[in-house]
Structure 1
Amino acid sequence: MSTSTIFHRVAFIIGGGSNVGMHVAQKLKTEGYRVAFGSRNPDIATLEQKELFPVSVDASNPESIKSAFDLVRTNLGEPSIVVHNVGIHFQPPVRNDPFSVSSDTFAKSCNIQLALFVAVQETLASFRSDKSTTPKVFIGTGNGLPFLKNMPPFFLALASQKATMYTMMDYASRAYAPEGFRFHYATLVGPDGGLPNLDPSAEVGFYNSGPAHAKAFWNLISADVAKSWDYRFTYAGEPLMT
């Protein structure tokens, strides 16, 4: 695609998978966005068939994040929607001993946090370069680990990643609201507000929650008035009523 062909409604998904990432991408496409779909090893043929722009990105590598944003800018334009759908669970060798994880393994988890910081920086640069009036929204796919109590100890590394995202979205939402930029930590929760069902075979739960994420994320993007940065939603994709 030549750089002369620029689309002014561009979305970039970092951490594209078959569940959340793909459903969000398809929703954004139906709403008129050109969608860059970023993953470590994108299936180029399949993504192009779905009219998505494949981007190779390592979400634990800050330089890879920068290069991916440059690729999106060159080929599609400045993204006004960024979805950071990244989180890696590092299971400790001793299940309930969180500090049995090696320091090298935990460093990989910390790299994901650093790369998120860079992703926010790159997003801000894109938001400020895009002079259109289209909504400018960054959504981090969250989970309940930062705010739920008594979570299993083997979640330490993943909880650290999400706690960093939770904090960054809080600070960013307040710092950049005057510029009209929205930042959200968007979390699928179970009926009681706790973790969703994590059984891959469950009829309803996290592993088939792509449509719920797509609906919830679009509700955040299309809202006339910014919703809470800490946004919790149900299996139906609706906001949790507290």
Structure 2
Amino acid sequence: MSFTPIALIIGGGSNVGIHVARKLLKEGYHVALGSRNPDNDALRKNGLFPVSVDGTNSASIKKAFQQVRTNLGEPSIVVYNVGQHFQPPSTNDPLSVSSEDFAKSGELELGIFVSAQEALASFRSIKHSTPKVFISTGNLLPFLKEAPVLFMTLASQKATMATLMDYANRAYATEGIRFHYATLVGPDGGLPNLSPSAEVGFFNSGPAHAEAYWTLISAETAKNWDYRFTYDGKEFESK
């Protein structure tokens, strides 16, 4: 009986999520694509398994994993592609963010932790020899010395994400399990173009993410947990 590996993507947006899903489908994976309001008919028509999931809600994440396990099996690839920016009323006043919004931001930080926990349980239960990889969609905010203060909540989310990927990647490497914080960067290694109208930039970077994520999954030797790539999907190499 042949074995078909399974991937779960939490955060199935029209840029990163769907392009990564299509790439994994092309590479022979059963792919579950999770979003808050999935278009079930359209996704199934395109060979994807739709999953309703709120990446900021722990109970919803656990339910999504169980749905995938019941219908497809244990995922060996998990992609967490979720982020939420709560802009302060005053761009130079980070503490003007409401406590309610800050709490919502914290829910997302818990969401990445729960997703990693669930993924680890799945990875450990798989007996086949197949890549077992957790990839989170990152950005440079946790590493910038003077990031714009209006991005405080998003930076906090990504800092938690980066910390978890670092620690988990080191802790479970001996089990053949990989955790990555994958970040699109500009040609100089800095922030990518964030203009929605840019010909080349973050908002049309889905294909680059797909290629970079496949590189992480298919690499015979594990890449660094902090993995940075450029608009062509290739690993960034500082000069």
TM-score normalised by length of structure 2: 0.98
**In the alignment, what sits opposite 1:187?**
183
Distance 1:219 1:226 in 2: 10
Answer yes or no: is the 8 Å Cα contact 2:4–2:28 preserved in 1. Answer: no
SS of 2:141 mapped into structure 1: coil
Structure 1 letter corresponding to 2:30: R
Corresponding residue of 1:162: 158
Residue of 42, 59, 64 corresponding to 2:60: 64
Does structure 2 conserve the Cα–Cα contact (< 8 Å) formed by 1:148 and 1:194?
no
Candidates 47, 55, 60, aligned match of 2:43: 47
Q: Does 2:134 align with 1:151? A: no
1:177 pairs with 173, 180, 201, which one? 173
- Amino acid in structure 2 at the alignment position of 1:31: E
**1:131 maps onto 2:92 in alignment:** no
Equivalence for 2:102: 106
Q: 1:96, CA displacement in angstroms? A: 2.0
1:205 aligns with 2:201: yes
Cα distance change, pair 229–181 in 1 and its aligned pair in 2 (3 A): same
CA–CA distance in 2 between the matches of 1:92 and 1:36?
35
Return 5+ residue gaps in structure 2 as ranges. none
Change (3 A) 1:58 1:6: farther
Q: How many residue pairs were aligned?
A: 238
Measured after TM superposition, the shift of residue 92 of structure 1 is 1.0
Matched, 1:75 2:71: yes
Residue 136 of structure 2: aligned partner: 140
Indicate if the aligned counterparts of 1:7 and 1:76 stay in contact, CA closer than 8 A.
no
Structure 1 residues 7, 45: closer, same or farther in 2, change over 3 A?
farther
Tell me the residue number matched to 1:26.
Answer: 22
Q: Which amino acid aligns with 2:50?
A: P
**Alignment partners' CA distance in 2, 1:60 and 1:95:** 24
Structure 1: which 4+ aligned runs deviate by more than 4 Å?
A: none
CA distance in 1, matches of 2:102, 2:206: 28
User: Who is 1:122 aligned against?
Assistant: 118
Distance between the aligned counterparts of 2:57 and 2:146, measured in 1?
Answer: 31
Query: Separation in 2 of the partners of 1:33 and 1:148?
Result: 36
**Alignment root-mean-square deviation, CA:** 1.2
Q: Secondary structure of the equivalent of 1:176?
A: helix
**Does the C-alpha gap of structure 1 residues 135 and 117 become closer, same or farther in structure 2, counting only changes over 3 Å?**
same
Output the CA distance in 1 between the equivalents of 2:144 and 2:227: 14
Q: Which residue is equivalent to 1:220?
A: 216
1:197 partner amino acid: N
The TM-score with structure 1 as length reference comes to 0.96
Secondary structure of the residue that 2:129 maps to in structure 1?
coil
Residue 237 of structure 1 deviates from its aligned partner by 0.4
Q: How far off is 1:6 after superposition? A: 9.9
Question: What amino acid is aligned across from residue 226 of structure 1 in structure 2?
Answer: A
**What is the CA–CA distance in structure 1 between the aligned matches of 2:113 and 2:235, rounded to whole Å?**
27
Query: How far apart are residue 46 of structure 1 and its match?
Result: 1.2
Q: Which whole-Å CA distance do the structure 2 matches of 1:141 and 1:6 have between them?
A: 31
